[in-house]
Amino acid sequence: MAKLTVVRHGQASFLAEDYDRLSELGRAQARRLGKYWLGRGERFNRVFTGPRKRQRDTFEIVAGVYRSAGMDFPAAELIEELDEYPAEPVVRTFAPLLMERHSHLRAWGEEFQTSADLDVKRKALDRMIQEVTARWLEGEVADEALGTWDSFCARVRGAVQRARAATPPGGATALFTSGGPSAAAAQFALGLSPRKTLDLTWMTYNAAFAEYLFDDDRFNMSAFNSTPHLPDAEMLTYR
């Protein structure tokens, strides 16, 4: 069987003006992943990335580890469908309406706006993102331009199918993407419900990887949210 490895990007810059940029910790997480794979003799026939800078930079750091050691690493091919679901537009579009309807969402919004404590702000925003996204998934709010959670998962499934088709028999392909597509790939393998798939996005570590074994008829998960390259607790992050 062939192998597909799906990688979530390293830590991005949560609460910074440009979220789509790896933090220093995110860059370190990616380097550790490259060193881990290099030490294990992991080799890939094809590599694909999503369009975001954090996804492409995670690939570049991993590839750089290989190339610095004199080992080849395939050039990345872009698959637009490996992009994250539209989290920022979903929250920006629906949060004001939902804050009017739900007092706890309004309280989180006020906490985010007024607190001087960065940890408090992060927690409030994280809660807001998770609940607004869940209410969008469940159909409480909708906007044709943003699509649906199901259409996002179908998009990712198409990207996974494209990567499978590009992998030679018995070969290996890596995808560098984000937490949402990582969860959607798991849905493809495990038949998860939409809500369970969304829940999975919140528990995926930065720079974690999942592995799937497949042939023409089968697509089976063999590992998920793996972080053997991040043995130190301070290296494990979700945001």
pLDDT in tens, 55-84: 999 999 999 999 999 999 999 999 999 999
H/E element, 150: helix 149-166
Round the average pLDDT of the chain to a whole number and report it: 94
pLDDT in tens, 142-169: 999 999 999 999 999 999 999 999 999 9
Choose the CATH number for 2-83+150-235 among 2.60.40.10, 3.40.50.1240, 3.40.1180.10, 3.40.109.10.
3.40.50.1240
Global pTM reads 0.92
C-beta separation of 48 from 77 below 8 A: yes
Residue 16 has pLDDT above 90, yes or no: no
Q: Distance between alpha carbon 91 and the CA centroid of its chain, in Å?
A: 17
pLDDT in tens, 95-119: 999 999 999 999 998 988 888 888 8
Alpha helices in 44-86 (DSSP H): 53-68
Q: Which residue has the tokens 């993102």?
A: 129
Q: Determine the Cα–Cα distance for residues 211 and 226; give it in Å rounded to an integer.
A: 9
Where do the structural domains in the chain lie, given as residue ranges? 2-83+150-235, 87-146
Contacts of 90 (CB under 8 A, 6+ apart): 132, 133, 136, 146
